[in-house]
Chain A
């Protein structure tokens, strides 16, 4: 651990002169095999079977894998097209944060695709069948399968490469297909597949049963009452107008939970009837990470069922990046149409869209000075940035969270161009890689973001970074201490809202207006 910490520190401290100019500078020379040893734990048979995959590698695994590849070619235009049309121009080669962090050439997006493309060519194209070595085609062997497992679990499916590809080739699509093929021969990943199993069994990624949720929410109600003097409810399984689906990390992890408190205060101030569902207590959908539409749908259908059972009119999703992609791009597609919900609101809606609407309507009152000890920046989470939208115009996903932060904080600075908005860098833990067995990769993959942060820390004195993603928050609270920050220097956007919001009838309101009244009295 200490060695790793030191390495990560060195990555930032001992920068060559070029780095003074370019905050994202890294040595662009490939170092073959530099990340070959970083491998996550494969899933045990019982966890594979729970998701409908074989527990062990079948005798005819090669045939099964190739049949799966053929099947996916017929189901996904992206996969079929992307394998054909890459011209190897090289535009993506220096864009992946895992390549920047590890220098392993197989972490260059095009090289990562080629691990699979080479096999596709061998079995599915004429040139690959007739002249394999000419076109870089190769046989599918056990070594190739292991290589797939290693490097397709070093991709966080963040889509940064697709921004820079002249044909829009999205490595995430290839990674998802590769993971689906691996699963089809019993070669799944422990972390992702165990978690999907927990959702099926208990209702959320963390395996929190209803009684645990109940007591957590009660504790939070007490905490809010202690802080504000206002009884703010966090209802569970109650009939309501709004179903809130947060990532389950919001129920217990720091700084996630402060975000949940923020949502509750906003709902309270808005005067809406809302509830959380113990059945659909998870916005995350890890089945997206493994490219399984069947499992992704099974998870998504829980939200549909909860919405029907609780009789809600709206669905709002909490702060989570890939969950927002799963909701924004996939919920309607997989579990729609939602014709039984109120069509006047987006389905689903992001909590930031909800809060920003209220702010624009002037329905929320803030005391921005409560955040004056903080100087903030905002980390655009990859799935929010490149696979979703907020509001009614392209790019709203960048502006709305920033608008909220600026409405509740006085000190805000963006990180350098090229590291934010559509070119944002992944935290290093997305795509199902947020597991301790990949800690070295997470650290190295997070280093480009840390360099960009360091830049604004030095220039503007930024001391906190806000995010709207459960994975980003967990990842940063783990790796930031290795780069000279504190583990609580990553914050939820709604945590900032929670700090500043002045609830009607609260202690904070009395303090503010009390002074006002005294002043008014004095004037008389």
Chain B
């Protein structure tokens, strides 16, 4: 029963996660950028744009300019998340790649910094009046969700270890539609349930900032409006326009 519920839950969650994100990307991709509007000074070459984007997604360049506290917590949060994701690949890959094995000790402690980062962001949201003003209930709940995932994960890493071999067998089985029993463990059920929830809400929430940042026209466009002709797709072509008549006629 437990295995069936979680197996189905993960199929549904995964389908919504992948399908939803793919749909959003399709949506953004197909919406026109009618003008060249990078926030300047902006790079002129594609390589320059790649460099700007790389700085944006790794060292959060704009956020660094904007607010050092948010930057610190956001870096803690996102860098830890990457380590955690890499470490978790060991539950889905057999044999475990070297890089994933290498990340194991860091990934374990990244759980702590992840929670620390999320707590920092939550504290700002609660105690800085400007940020409190712009926060909806969902903005708090999103951080609570991350805290739930992080704390239940830490519980399993450092306190009550579940049957890891069994968990891995469950996920490997899921991938080849050969279900294996999910070990019964409360923190594991909470952890997996919240992760499934995270996957389900991803395509409908501000979590879209992750794929979305790559589509941001103020960051991903080259500053070449004079050098290259960039017509507005939904305006009539230039040979079909009408000019205003001269004045005083």
Residues in B with CB closer than 8 Å to A75 are 31-32, 34, 234
The verdict on A202 contacting B247 (CB below 8 Å), with A89-B74, A163-B39, A332-B226 known, is: yes
Known: A81-B216, A134-B138, A209-B248. A166 touches B27 (CB 8 A): no
Asked whether, in the complex, the Cβ of A110 is within 8 Å of the Cβ of B134, the reply is: yes
The 8 Å CB contact of A329, one of B32, B36, B246, is B36
Q: How many residues of A contact B (CB 8 A)?
A: 88
15 contacts between A and B (CB under 8 A): A75-B31, A78-B217, A81-B215, A84-B212, A90-B125, A92-B66, A126-B204, A134-B136, A159-B39, A167-B219, A170-B218, A293-B34, A328-B225, A337-B229, A395-B41
**Residues in A neighbouring B48, C-beta threshold 8 A:** 394
Pick the contact of A297: B43, B201, B230, B235 (CB < 8 A): B235
Taken together as a complex, chains A and B put the C-alpha atoms of A388 and B42 apart, in Å, by 9
Contacts of A94 in B (CB 8 A): 130
Is the C-beta of B8 less than 8 angstroms from some C-beta in chain A? no
Taking the complex as formed, is A136 at the interface, i.e. its CB lies under 8 A from any CB of chain B? yes
Q: Which residues of A contact B34 (CB under 8 A)?
A: 75-76, 293, 333
Contact of B131 with A88 in the complex, beta carbons under 8 Å: yes
Closest A-B pairs by Cβ, 5 of them: A164-B66, A136-B136, A91-B66, A394-B41, A168-B218
B residues near A387, Cβ cutoff 8 Å: 37, 39-40
Residue in A73, A166, A395 whose Cβ sees the most chain B Cβ within 10 Å: A166
Contact of B41 among A87, A127, A397 (CB under 8 A): A397
Contact bitstring B114-144, A, C-beta under 8 A = 1, else 0:
0000000100110011110111111101000
Residue in A87, A333, A397, A398 whose beta carbon sits within 8 Å of that of B230 in the complex:
A333
**CB-contacts of A372-420 with B (<8 A):** 385-389, 393-395, 397-398
CB-nearest residue of chain A to B31: A77
Residues of B within 8 A of A135 (CB): 136-138
**Shortest Cβ distance from B137 into A: residue:** A134
A77 and B28 form a contact (CB under 8 A): yes
B218:A76 contact, CB within 8 angstroms? no
A111-B134, A210-B247, A301-B241 provided; 10 other pairs, C-beta below 8 A? Answer: A76-B33, A89-B67, A127-B205, A131-B138, A163-B66, A168-B219, A297-B232, A334-B232, A335-B238, A336-B238
Task: Determine if A293 and B70 form an interchain contact, defined as CB atoms under 8 angstroms apart.
Answer: no
Are A133 and B139 CB-contacts (below 8 A) given A91-B66, A386-B39, A387-B40?
no
Task: Find chain B residues with CB under 8 A from A42 CB.
Answer: none
Any B CB within 8 A of the CB of A342: no
Segment of B56-64, B98-106, B148-156 engaged in the interface with chain A: B56-64
Judge if A279 is at the interface, Cβ distance under 8 Å: yes
Within 8 A of B (CB), among A332-375: 332-337, 346-348
Cα A397 to Cα B78 in complex, Å, equals 35
A127→B197 CA distance, assembly (Å): 14
Query: In the complex, which residues of chain A have a beta carbon less than 8 angstroms from the beta carbon of B74?
Result: 89, 166
Chain B hits for A126, CB < 8 A: 204
Taken together as a complex, chains A and B put the C-alpha atoms of A131 and B134 apart, in Å, by 18
Q: Are A108 and B133 in contact (CB under 8 A)?
A: yes
* Given A91-B67, A167-B213, residue A80 in contact with residue B28 (CB < 8 A): yes
- Kindly report which residue of chain A lies nearest to residue B128, judged by CB atoms: A90
**B32 with A77: CB separation less than 8 A:** yes
* B246 surroundings in chain A (CB, below 8 A): 279
**B208 proximal to A (CB < 8 A):** yes
Indicate if B244 sits at the interface (CB-CB under 8 A): yes
Docked-complex contact A85 and B238, CB < 8 angstroms: no
Residues in chain A near residue B133, CB distance under 8 A: 30, 105, 108, 111
Which residue, of A89, A202, A385, has the highest number of chain B Cβ atoms within 10 A?
A89
Contact partners of A162 in chain B: CB under 8 A: 39, 218
B19 at the interface (CB under 8 A from A): no
Segment 30-82 of B: residues with Cβ below 8 Å from A: 31-37, 39-44, 48, 56, 60, 62-63, 65-67, 70, 74
Which B residues are closer than 8 A to A by beta carbons?
24, 27-28, 31-37, 39-44, 48, 56, 60, 62-63, 65-67, 70, 74, 121, 124-125, 128-131, 133-139, 141, 201, 204-206, 208-209, 212-213, 215-219, 223, 225-226, 229-232, 234-235, 238, 241, 243-244, 246-248
Question: Taking the nearest CB of chain B, how far is it from the CB of A101, in angstroms?
Answer: 15
Q: Within 8 Å of chain B (Cβ to Cβ): is A123?
A: no
**Partner of A87 from B40, B206, B235 at Cβ < 8 Å:** B206
Counting chain B CB atoms within 10 Å of each CB, which of A75, A85, A293, A422 scores highest? A85
**A278 touches B (CB below 8 Å):** yes
Closest to A106 in B: B133
Contact A93 B134 (CB under 8 A): yes
Residues of B within 8 A of A200 (CB): 244
> Which among B35, B208, B218, B243 is the interface contact of A84 at CB below 8 angstroms?
B208
Q: Which residues of B contact A386 (CB under 8 A)?
A: 39-40
A73–B246 Cα distance when bound, in Å, is: 36
Kindly report which residue of chain B lies nearest to residue A111, judged by CB atoms: B134
B56–A302 contact, CB under 8 A?
A: no
Asked if residues B208 and A85 are in contact (CB atoms below 8 Å), the reply is yes
Interface pair B42/A294, CB less than 8 Å apart: no
Give the Cβ gap from B66 to chain A, nearest Cβ, in Å. Answer: 3
Question: Closest Cβ of chain B: how far from A523's Cβ, in Å?
Answer: 51
Q: Which residue of B135, B212, B217, B243 contacts A301 across the interface (Cβ within 8 Å)?
A: B243
- Determine if B67 and A90 form an interchain contact, defined as CB atoms under 8 angstroms apart: yes
Select which of A203, A209, A347 is within 8 A of B226 by beta carbon.
Answer: A347
Beta-carbon contact of A108 and B216 below 8 Å = no
A444: interface (CB < 8 Å): no
A165 on interface, CB distance cutoff 8 Å: yes
A42-98 residues with Cβ-Cβ distance < 8 A to B are 73-78, 80-82, 84-95
Whether B41 pairs with A78 at a CB distance below 8 angstroms is: no
Considering only CB atoms, which chain A residue lies closest to B44 in the complex? A394
Q: A29 on the interface (CB 8 Å rule)?
A: yes
Q: Which residue of B lies closest to A78 (CB)?
A: B217
A76-B34, A88-B135, A302-B243 as given contacts; A333 in contact with B232, CB under 8 Å: yes
Quote the shortest CB–CB distance from B235 to chain A (angstroms).
6
Residue A169 is within 8 A (CB to CB) of chain B in the complex: yes
Chain A residues within 8 Å of B232, by CB:
293, 297, 333-334
**CB-contact partner of B223 in A90, A337, A389, under 8 A:** A389
Q: How far is the CA of A397 from the CA of B226 in the complex (A)?
A: 14
A180 CB → nearest B CB, Å: 13
Q: How far is the CA of A265 from the CA of B34 in the complex (A)?
A: 38
Q: In the bound complex, how far is the Cα of B140 from the Cα of A134, in angstroms? A: 10
B134 touches A90 (CB 8 A): yes
Please, what's the 1-or-0 string for A409-442, where 1 marks a CB less than 8 Å from any CB in chain B? 0000000000000110000000000000000000
A319 at interface, CB cutoff 8 A = no
- The 0/1 profile, CB within 8 Å of B marked 1, for residues 114-148 of chain A is 10000000000111000101111000000000000
